[in-house]
A and B are shown apart, each in its own frame.
Chain A
Amino acid sequence: MSEVRGVVVAHGNLARCLVETVESISGVEGALKPISNEGCSPELLMARIRDAVGAEPALVFVDLASGSCSHAARLVARDGGRMPVVSGVNLPMLLDFVFHRDMDLAQLSERVVEKGRAGAIAHLPDLCL
């Protein structure tokens, strides 16, 4: 069964750190490709995303829903990329992604968003209540 690749596009060193951390926790290597927007014009960032995605379908993770990474990824997707774009990338969603890359792309996108949301919990100690 074919496995979807993930591309993580984020500010500064965030994408590289997330990808390295996912690899060290999951032991799955090569499933995710990091891209930084550092020093990129919108056109250059789009070209980097296009190169990373290539001809195969991929899931693209971006950090902020409204930011240069998200804008560039969604413009590439609009111009013919077979790539859902998921914003708010975090460790829980990436850890789930690397183990479910054989799923249908649209279903997988919904799934990782659920996992990302489920990972954000406010744990309030008694003293704060």
Chain B
Amino acid sequence: MTLVLFRIDERLLHGQVIVGWGMRLGIELYVIVDDELAESEWERDLYSAGLPEGTTAEFVSVEQAIDLFGELDARAARGALLTRGTAEMRSLADAGLLLDRRVNLGGLHAAEDRRRVLTYVHLGQREAEDLEAIQKASIGVSARDLPAGREVDLESLIDVLE
């Protein structure tokens, strides 16, 4: 259980995650679950550039994440697992991997088919369905941008949406 943070954030590996969460939680390994990045060496380098000393990033597809979950979760390094959207995290939940984990919603930005529920969270029908499925297959889903920020549970987010 060395993966200590599961976060959905469109920006994946960025300042708030590396500094705000990473420094606070002592994260040494970032596992980025993303089919596109897993295929693109250029973008993997882009996201790895400028990581603090002593931290590494690994990029896996959703399928690889499911296969390798046990191994990634048993590393000596404390890890954070990041997905760009709700669908990727839902795949992990559907595979039964998140039953004893909490999922953090960290950033979904405005889009045509989404409505704003928090300054940093915008949800559409598809995202809401994914999050409810994740909620059922985990300890729970809540939004929080930074460790010191206010935690908002999924029910409150869905209430705003309806």
Contact = CB atoms under 8 A, between A and B. Distances in A.
A66 B109 contact: no
Contacts of A71: 11, 14, 46-47
A65 B119 CA distance: 25
Given A64-B15, A68-B11, A40 B109 contact: yes
A28 interface: no
B10 A67 contact: no
Contact of A66 (B10, B14, B120): B14
B42 A78 contact: yes
Contacts of A78: 42
29 contacts: A11-B15, A39-B119, A39-B120, A40-B109, A42-B10, A42-B109, A44-B109, A44-B110, A63-B15, A64-B14, A65-B50, A66-B13, A66-B15, A66-B18, A66-B47, A66-B50, A67-B14, A67-B15, A67-B18, A67-B50, A68-B11, A68-B14, A68-B15, A70-B49, A70-B50, A71-B14, A71-B46, A78-B42, A87-B50
B14 A41 contact: no
Range class of the A interface residue count: 10 to 19
Contacts of B119: 39
Contacts of A66: 13-15, 18, 47-51
Given A64-B15, A66-B15, 8 more contacts: A39-B110, A40-B109, A41-B10, A42-B11, A66-B47, A66-B49, A66-B50, A67-B14
Contacts of A101: none
B111 A41 contact: yes
Interface string B62-104: 0000000000000000000000000000000000000000000
